[in-house]
Amino acid sequence: MSKTNPLFYEITNKSTANKTVDILMYGAIPSWDQDTWKIKNTADKFVRDFKALEKEYDRINIRINSPGGSLYHGFPIFNAVINSKKEIHTYNDGLAASMGGLLLLAGKTVHSAQNGMLMIHNAMSWGGGNADQLREMAKVLDKYDELIANKLAKKTGMTKEEVMDSYLNYKDHYLTPEEALEEKFIDEIDDYEAEEAPPANIANMNHEEVMAFYRPKDEDKSFFNRVTEHVRKTLNLSSSHGAPKHPNPPAPPAKNQSPNSNQDHMDFKDSLELLNKGELTAEDIAAVKAEIQQFTGANERFTSDEVQAKVDDAVKPVQAQVDTLTNEKGTLETEVSNLKTEKDNLAKTVNDLKGEKTTLETENNGLKLDIEAYRKSGVKPTNTKGKDPEKIEGEESPENYFSETDKEVRNLRKQMGYPDKSEKAD
């Protein structure tokens, strides 16, 4: 499996004629991002790829050489594999430990190399928090243990209680192919030996050591080089490339030498050359330690003030950036506050205008009612000088208000000799 592959699996040996395909799972499940020390969530991609392979191939071989990984990411893979309707064969190509062991048992037929090792243990986690938070974490781990016990019981025919007592008792249980076959964890021991067999003393290693052993070597070197480069930049150290064939451990300084007399030569040149090799021998490590001892303990070349000064110089640029970002944050918060104030003022103005509009509408309706009452009264305003005011559209003419009673009154006045004021004089 390619070490540059960003996934924890590789699809290979596709045979359209035989309708078979292989999936290699060599390493942690899923893989880790060495820059951020976080799990790469590629389990969902595996499930999509696996579903696509099911459409094209009748037999899928999953070959495993893994120290395990994340149950959270591993169980979706387990479920996809164990529920497949295709012919799924899983192979232990060296080590199937922890989550890797569970995935091995997901195949319809489980195979093992003659030197393969199966390891089963309880669910594990790490983290921090208060007592209550850690108790909650323990409850989650207990639930995972029950899930694991059910899967193992279904595969072997044991009861869940038997599985818990024998294999989930907070110990790492390594099984040879013969032991795994006897306990019915696997179905067949194939006639081949794994090229990358687990170390002979693996049963004496804790799980963290096993995980480290199976981490790709180029990832270790890459991370180590990043640490070395960070130290070099922080302390303004120089280095030359190319490791010496026979490095000689530098001699300690003379007793009468001034503590700071060789400060300018403290560049760790030899040590950096050795570290850049990547593969270190015991002699290389001894040489590095010897050079470090020149500047530690009784041979200390820096005072505490000088060390603090170095630290301060390294911190200053970062602190300046933090201060700039803090100031920008304060400015943005002020602008946001001002915008909120303007928004509140505009909302108040809109409410005031709505109130004025309501008042004007009320006054307008009152005037309309006054005009309508005036029209119905037939009274002429005094400033018209006896003339009819300009006619208003919809207004009834005065004739409409002359009744029969008015006629009788007019005739009686004529009979009595009173002039009719409604008639115009000639």
pLDDT per position as a tens digit, 319-330:
888 888 888 898
Q: Which of 141, 123, 122, 121 is nearest to 133 (CA)?
A: 141
What's the pLDDT band for 158 if we cut at 50, 70, 90?
very high
Which amino acid, residue 247? P
Is the pLDDT at 168 greater than 60? The verdict is: yes
CB 68 within 8 A of CB 211: yes
Question: pLDDT at position 245, please?
Answer: 41
Is the pLDDT at 356 greater than 60? The verdict is: yes
Phi, psi angles (nearest 5°) of residue 193: -115, 140
Q: Could you list the active site residues?
A: 98, 121
Is the pLDDT at 401 greater than 90? The verdict is: no
DSSP string, 100-113: HHHHHTTSSEEEE-
Question: pLDDT at position 274, please?
Answer: 59
Question: pLDDT at position 216, please?
Answer: 65
* Average confidence (pLDDT) over 307-319: 77
Judge if pTM exceeds 0.85: no
Query: What domains are defined for the chain?
Result: 10-121+172-214 (3.90.226.10), 218-254+262-301 (no CATH)
Is the pLDDT at 5 greater than 60? The verdict is: no
* Average confidence (pLDDT) over 379-383: 55
Question: pLDDT at position 105, please?
Answer: 97
Residue given tokens 């309880």 in the structure block: 122
More confident residue, 413 or 138: 138
State how far the Cα of 44 lies from the Cα of 47, in Å rounded to an integer.
5
Q: Give me the percent of the chain exceeding a pLDDT of 90.
A: 38
CB 57 within 8 A of CB 20: yes
State how far the Cα of 231 lies from the Cα of 238, in Å rounded to an integer.
10
State how far the Cα of 351 lies from the Cα of 142, in Å rounded to an integer.
60
Q: Which segments of 379-424 does DSSP mark as H helices, in order?
A: 404-415
Q: In this structure, is the dihedral angle defined by the CA atoms of residues 254, 260, 261 and 263, taken in order, positive or negative? A: positive
Token representation of residue 219: 């990832």
What's the pLDDT band for 260 if we cut at 50, 70, 90?
very low
